[in-house]
Amino acid sequence: MRRLLFVLFSVIWFCSCGSRDNGELIGVQGRENWFEPDPYGMAFIPMGSYNMGPNDQDVPFAVNTQTKTVSVDAFWMDETEITNNEYRQFVHWVRDSMARRILVRDGLEEYKLKVKDNGDEEAKADADDPEKAFLDWEKKIKWNDQKVVEALNKEEYEFYRKKEDRIFRKKEVNTERLVYRYQWFDLRQAAKKINRFDWNYDFKNEKYTYKYKGFVFTPDGKKNNVTKRKDFIFDGAIPVYPDTLVWMADYTYSYNEPWARQYFWHPAFDEYPVVGVTWVQANAFCIWRTQLLNNHLIKQKQNPVQDYRLPTEAEWEYAARGSLALSMYPWGGPYTRNNLGCFIANFKPLRGNYCDDGGIRTLPVGSYEPNEYGLFDMAGNVSEWTSNAYDESSYSFTHDLNPDYTYNAVPDDPPALKRKVIRGGSWKDVSYYLQCGSRAYEYQDTAKSYIGFRCVRSFLGGAAGDWKGGKH
Structural domain count, the chain: 3
Q: What is the pLDDT of residue 344?
A: 94
Quick one: 95 and 224 in the same domain?
no
In this prediction, residue 11 carries a pLDDT of 45
| pLDDT for res 12 | 47
- E strand intervals along 39-174: 42-45, 48-52, 68-72, 75-78
201 with 270, same domain?
no
The mean per-residue pLDDT over the stretch 457-463 comes to 78
Same domain, 111 and 207: no
345 in the same domain as 315: yes
Q: CB of 440 within 8 A of CB of 433? A: yes
Residue 411 domain-assigned (yes or no)? yes
- pLDDT per position as a tens digit, 428-455: 999 999 999 999 999 999 999 999 999 9
pLDDT of residue 7: 44
Read off the pLDDT of residues 107-164 as tens digits, 9 standing for 90 and up. 998 998 887 755 666 666 677 778 888 888 989 999 999 999 999 999 899 999 998 9
Task: List, for residues 385-422, the tens digit of each pLDDT value.
Answer: 999 999 989 999 999 999 999 998 888 899 999 999 99
Q: How far apart are CA 407 and CA 418, in angstroms?
A: 8
Asked if 349 and 297 sit in the same domain, the reply is yes
Q: Does some domain include residue 5? A: no
pTM score of the predicted model: 0.90
β-bridge partners, 71: 49, 401
What domain range includes position 201?
193-230
What are the residues whose beta carbons fall under 8 Å from the beta carbon of 107, sequence distance 6 or more? Answer: none
Q: Is residue 1 part of a domain?
A: no
Read off the pLDDT band of 23 (50, 70, 90): confident
- What does the pLDDT read at residue 228? 86
- Of the chain, the percentage scoring pLDDT greater than 90 comes to 61
Q: What is the separation, in whole angstroms, between the first and last Cα of the chain?
A: 44
Same domain, 146 and 274: no
CATH number at residue 430: 3.90.1580.10
Same structural domain for residues 102 and 74? no
Instruction: Tell me the three state secondary structure of residue 455.
Output: coil
Does one domain contain both 146 and 75?
no
Q: What is the DSSP string of 312-361?
A: PHHHHHHHHHTT-TT-SSTTSSSSSB-TTS-B-S-S--TTT-GGGGT-SS
| CA atoms lying within 13 Å on the CB side of residue 258 | 4
The verdict on 119 and 201 lying in the same domain is no
What is the distance, to the nearest Å, from the Cα of residue 296 to the centroid of all Cα atoms in its chain? Answer: 17
Backbone angles phi, psi at 173, to 5 degrees: -65, 140
pLDDT digits (tens, 9 = 90+) for 168-194: 988 899 999 999 999 999 999 989 888
- Over 70: is that where the pLDDT of 53 sits? yes
How many whole angstroms separate alpha carbon 296 and alpha carbon 240? 22
The DSSP H or E segment spanning 445 is none
Domain match, 158 and 95 both: yes
| pLDDT band per the 50, 70, 90 thresholds, residue 3 | low
Quote the pLDDT of residue 44: 95
Does 305 map to a domain? yes
